[in-house]
A and B are shown apart, each in its own frame.
Chain A
Amino acid sequence: MPNLKDLKNRIESVKSTRKITKAMQMVAAAKLRKAQEAAEQARPYADKMSLVMNKITSSDNVSSSSPLLTGNGNYNIHLIIIATSERGLCGAFNSSIVRLAKNHINKLKSEGFQFKILTIGKKGREQLKREFGENMIDHVDLSEVKKIAYENASTISDNIISMFLNNEFDVATIFYNQFESVISQVPQASQLIPIEINSEKTQNDNSISNFVYEPDEQEIIEDLLPKAIATKVFTALLENGASEQGARMSAMDNATRNAGDMIDKLTIQFNRSRQAAITNELIEIISGAEAL
C-alpha cells in the first residue's frame, strides 16, 4: 500500500499531465478549424481543375498524349509517396497511413515490382526507415512550414515530375489521410502519375462539344498536367493537415478523460488510506485510554 505522500505526488503529476493534454487538445482544435478552412477553400480550384481536365481529355482532338497522362508504357518501378505528420501524439494518424502503404508495398513486392519511397513528414519516415531504408530516395521536410502553401505542393510535384521524365519510376502513388470528421480519418491512396481522371461527370455535361481551345488541346494539356498533379499533391497535404489536427484533438481528448478517471481513482484511494490512518490512530488512543 503506497503511503499518503506517494499518492499525493502521483495525483499531482497526473493533474499536470491532464493540464498538458487539455492544452494540446485546445490548440489542436484551433488549428483544426484553420486547417479545415484551408482545405475547404482549396476545394473549388481542385474541382474546377479536374472538370477542365475531364473535358479536354475526353475531346477527340487529343491524339498523342503526354506521358504524364498515359504513363510511359511501363509498370515496373513504383514510387510510393507517403505523407505523414511532423509531430507525434496524434493517435493512430501516422500508423494508419503507414499500414496502408506497407500493405501496398508488400503487394507490389510479391508481384515482383520494384518500388521507391518518398516520404513527406518526419513520422512516416521514422516508422519505415528500419524496414525499407534502402528504398527511400528522398524526404521532404515540412517542419518549418506553418501553413501549407501551394508553393510547397508545387515544389514537391515538380520534383516528382522531373524524376518521372528522367525515367526513375513508372507509376507514382501518394498516401495520405482523407479528412472525414474529427473522429474519422480515412487513409487513402491516390495515383499521381499517370494521373487518374474520373470521367463520370463528363458524360452528362453537354457543353464540351462546342468549346474552342486556344492554342490547341495538346498545348493546353502540357500546360495543365503539371498543375493538375500539383493540385492533387496540394489537396493531399491539406487533407492530411486537417486529419492530423483532428486525430490529435480526439487523441488528446481521450488522454484528458483518462487522466480525469485516474485522478478520481487515486483520490478515492488517497481518501481511503487517510481515513484508515485516522481510524488506526483513534483505535490506538481509545485502547490506550482503556488500558489505564
Chain B
Amino acid sequence: MSNALFNFELVTPEKILMSDSVSSVSVSGVEGDMTVLANHSPIATSLRPGYVDINTNGKTERFFLTGGFIQITSDEVVVLAESASSEEDLNSEMIDNVIEKTKSLMENASDLQKCVLAKKLNDLTNIRNQL
C-alpha cells in the first residue's frame, strides 16, 4: 500500500468536519463502494447512506453519512455530506427520523427523484437493521 497522502475534506452544511492529509478514504457510492488513494483519477459521484472510513497512516476514523456527494480532483478529495455523525453518536432513532423524512419526500417527487429516494430508503433500512 502506498503511503502517499492527499488532501481530504469532509464538509457538512453546518461546518467543515475534517480537513486533513490522509492516505485513503472509503465511501459507499451509489454505484458501489470504493476506496480512494492518492492520485485517483477525477470522478464525481453521489453517495448512498453509509459509512465513510478515513485512513491516516494506519489510523481509521469512521463517520456515518445520510447521503452526499464526493468529488475527486487532481489536488483534493471533497465529500459534501448532507449530515454526518461519528459512529458512537449513531443510533436507530436518528435513522428512523431520516427514513420518515425520506418517505414524506417521496410523496411529491418526480419519477426520477422517486427512483433515487427509493434506493436511499432501502439503504437506510438496511443500516437500521444492522444496528
Contact B15 A42 (CB under 8 A): yes
Given A150-B12, A165-B109, A234-B13, CB of A215 within 8 Å of CB of B74? no
Which of A111-119, A175-183, A221-229 interfaces with chain B? A221-229
Which of A45-53, A249-257, A259-267 interfaces with chain B? A45-53
Which of B54-62, B85-93, B110-118 interfaces with chain A? B110-118
Task: Say if the beta carbon of B36 comes within 8 Å of chain A.
Answer: no
Given A45-B13, A52-B71, A150-B83, CB of A166 within 8 Å of CB of B108? yes
Q: Mark B21-62, 1 if CB is under 8 A from A, else 0.
A: 000000001110000000001111110000000000000000
Which of A1-9, A20-28, A206-214, A269-277 interfaces with chain B? A206-214
In the assembled complex, the CB of A147 is this many whole angstroms from the nearest CB of chain B, namely 9
- The 8 Å CB contact of B80, one of A52, A207, A214, A215, is A52
Task: Say if the beta carbon of A231 comes within 8 Å of chain B.
Answer: yes
Residue of A nearest to B45 (CB): A214
Task: Say if the beta carbon of A158 comes within 8 Å of chain B.
Answer: yes
Contact B13 A212 (CB under 8 A): no
Residue of A nearest to B114 (CB): A222
Task: Say if the beta carbon of B95 comes within 8 Å of chain A.
Answer: no
Listed residue (A67, A210, A231) with the most chain B CB atoms within 10 angstroms of its CB? A210
Task: Say if the beta carbon of A41 comes within 8 Å of chain B.
Answer: yes
Contact B43 A214 (CB under 8 A): yes
Task: Say if the beta carbon of A285 comes within 8 Å of chain B.
Answer: no
Residues of A contacting B11 with CB < 8 Å?
A: 44-45, 48
Cα–Cα, bound, A213→B46 (Å): 9
Listed residue (A45, A150, A212, A227) with the most chain B CB atoms within 10 angstroms of its CB? A45
Residues on A close to B: CB < 8 A? Answer: 38, 41-42, 44-46, 48-49, 52, 55-56, 66-67, 149-150, 153, 158, 161-162, 165-166, 207, 210-215, 218-220, 222-224, 226-227, 230-231, 234
Residues on B close to A: CB < 8 A? Answer: 9, 11-16, 29-31, 41-46, 67, 69, 71, 73-74, 78, 80, 82-83, 105, 107-110, 112-113, 116
